[in-house]
Structure 1
Amino acid sequence: MVRPLQFQVLKTYKKARASTMTLPHGEVYTPVYMPVGTKGTIKGVTSQQMKNLDCRILLGNTYHLAYQPGGDYMEKVGGLHKFMNWDRNILTDSGGFQMVSLSKLCNITEEGVTFEHPGDGSIMKLKPEDSVHRQNQIGGDILMALDDVVKTTHDDLQRMDEACDRTIRWIDRNIEAHARKSDQNLFPIVQGGLDEKMRIKCLEALIAKDANGYAIGGLSGGEAKTDFFKIVNLCTDYLPKDKPRYCMGVGYPEDLVLASCLGVDMFDCVFSTRTARFGTAFTKYGFLNLKRQELENDFTPIEEGCECEACKNYTKSYLHNVIGKEPSACNLVSMHNINYLLTLMKRQRQSIIDGTLEEFVNDFLKNYYSKQKELPDFVYKALEYADIKITFKFDK
Structure 2
Amino acid sequence: MSLPNSFRLLAADGTARTGVLETPHGVVRTPAFMPVGTAGAMKGIHWREIRESGADIVLGNTYHLMLRPTAERIAALGGLQKFTGWNGPMLTDSGGFQVMSLAKLRKVTEQGVRFKSHIDGAVLDLSPERAIEVQRLFGSDIAMQLDECVRLPASRDEVDRAMQLSLRWAERCKRAFEGAPQGHMLFGIVQGGDVAKLRRQSAAGLGEIGFHGYAIGGLAVGEPQDVMLAMIEEAAPLLPQDRPRYLMGVGTPDDMIEAVKRGIDMFDCVLPTRNGRHGHAFTRRGVINLRNARHADDPRPLDEESSWPPARSYSRAYLHHLVKAGEALGAMLLSEINIAYFQSLMAGVREAIAAGQFADFRAATKAGWAAGDLPPR
- The TM tier, using the shorter chain, reads over 0.9
Q: Give 1:314's aligned amino acid.
A: Y
Deviation at 1:181, TM superposition (A): 4.6
Does 2:190 align with 1:190?
yes
1:84–1:5 CA distance, 2 compared to 1 (3 A): farther
Q: Give 1:349's aligned amino acid.
A: R
Does 2:274 align with 1:274?
yes
Deviates most, 361-370 or 257-266: 361-370
Does 2:93 align with 1:93?
yes
Deviation at 1:283, TM superposition (A): 1.2
Aligned to 2:371: 370
Q: Give 1:190's aligned amino acid.
A: V
Secondary structure class of the residue paired with 2:58: strand
Q: Give 2:130's aligned amino acid.
A: D
Deviation at 1:174, TM superposition (A): 0.5
Aligned to 1:377: none
Aligned to 2:150: 150
Secondary structure class of the residue paired with 2:337: helix
Deviation at 1:118, TM superposition (A): 2.1
Does 2:323 align with 1:327?
no
CA distance, structure 2, for counterparts of residue 234 and residue 20 of structure 1: 24
TM-score, length-scaled by structure 2: 0.95
Deviation at 1:210, TM superposition (A): 2.2
Deviates most, 270-279 or 312-321: 312-321
Question: In 1, are the aligned partners of 2:140 and 2:184 still within 8 Å (CA)?
Answer: yes
* Structure 2: gaps of 5 or more residues: none
Question: In 2, are the aligned partners of 1:25 and 1:89 still within 8 Å (CA)?
Answer: yes
Question: In 2, are the aligned partners of 1:4 and 1:23 still within 8 Å (CA)?
Answer: no
Runs of 4+ in structure 1 displaced over 2 angstroms? 2-5
Question: In 2, are the aligned partners of 1:5 and 1:22 still within 8 Å (CA)?
Answer: no
CA distance, structure 2, for counterparts of residue 258 and residue 47 of structure 1: 28
Write out aligned runs for 1:35-184 (5 A): 35-154=35-154, 156-178=155-177, 179-184=179-184
Question: In 2, are the aligned partners of 1:279 and 1:290 still within 8 Å (CA)?
Answer: yes
Question: In 2, are the aligned partners of 1:309 and 1:332 still within 8 Å (CA)?
Answer: no
CA distance, structure 1, for counterparts of residue 258 and residue 111 of structure 2: 38
Deviation at 1:327, TM superposition (A): 1.3
Deviation at 1:3, TM superposition (A): 6.4
Percent of paired sites with the same residue: 37
Aligned to 2:25: 25
Deviates most, 211-220 or 288-297: 288-297
Aligned to 1:384: none
Deviates most, 316-325 or 274-283: 316-325
How many residue pairs match? The answer is: 370
Secondary structure class of the residue paired with 1:20: strand
Question: In 1, are the aligned partners of 2:9 and 2:242 still within 8 Å (CA)?
Answer: yes
Deviation at 1:103, TM superposition (A): 0.7
Secondary structure class of the residue paired with 2:96: coil
Question: In 1, are the aligned partners of 2:22 and 2:28 still within 8 Å (CA)?
Answer: yes
* Structure 1: gaps of 5 or more residues: 373-396
Q: Give 2:297's aligned amino acid.
A: N
TM-score, length-scaled by structure 1: 0.91
